[in-house]
Amino acid sequence: MPLYTWLKAGTTAAAVVLATATAASAAAAPTSMPSTASASAVVTLRYDDSRAGGWEAAITAGVASWNANVTNVKLVEAAPGARAEIVIVATTGWPQATLGPVRPGRQVRVELGSQAVTQGYDKTRIAAHELGHSLGLPDTKPGPCSQLMSGSSPGTSCVNAVPNATERARVESAYANGAAALLPLDGRILVDAP
């Protein structure tokens, strides 16, 4: 058999093998593969609001806001009697919280103070803002209403309880690939009086 025929047959066979392997790989791989790495990297933090009477709806809305806007960390209500990373209590003073980012197994405290509500500040914004401290965000006072962490500085008419893009990015970065386990807890208490 001439060399040309051997080369042509070998090239054709290689092309068929390559096409078959590519088609088999494409058929075996789903179009959108779930990422097990990202699913396992989500940090779950439990909160206990059993001592935050009168704030339940605001806490639920604040938690929902964070859960809808970040993917690397999820806040879930702790089962009764279970240890929570975020302990939320109602107080008569100004809202305050421990500056995180809190890690699984560690604990921070959020105090939802009625003094701010008495002065006209929105409960849901307060709850979301204080949870932001637990996730590692400091105050950005003074700041516009569009910044959740500007707290009371935009005044009582501000009811925004949604973190902006910068705030979301900072929390995502703090909890990327479970990184919160490696970050030190700041531990400062931030009091949110005007």
Q: Which of 56, 77, 111, 130 is catalytic?
A: 130
Is 99 exposed, middle or buried (CB count within 10 Å of its CB: 0-12, 13-18, 19+)? buried
Residue 40, phi then psi, degrees to nearest 5: -80, -15
CB 142 within 8 A of CB 121: no
Strand partners, 74: 44
Tokens of 91: 């107080």
- Sign, CA dihedral 126-128-129-130, equals positive
Beta strands per DSSP E along the chain:
43-51, 73-77, 86-91, 96-98, 108-113, 189-191
Half-sphere exposure of 52 (CA within 13 A, CB side): 23
Nearest residue to 58 via CA among 163, 168, 161, 167: 161
Q: Is 167 a catalytic residue?
A: no
**Which residues are part of the catalytic machinery?**
130
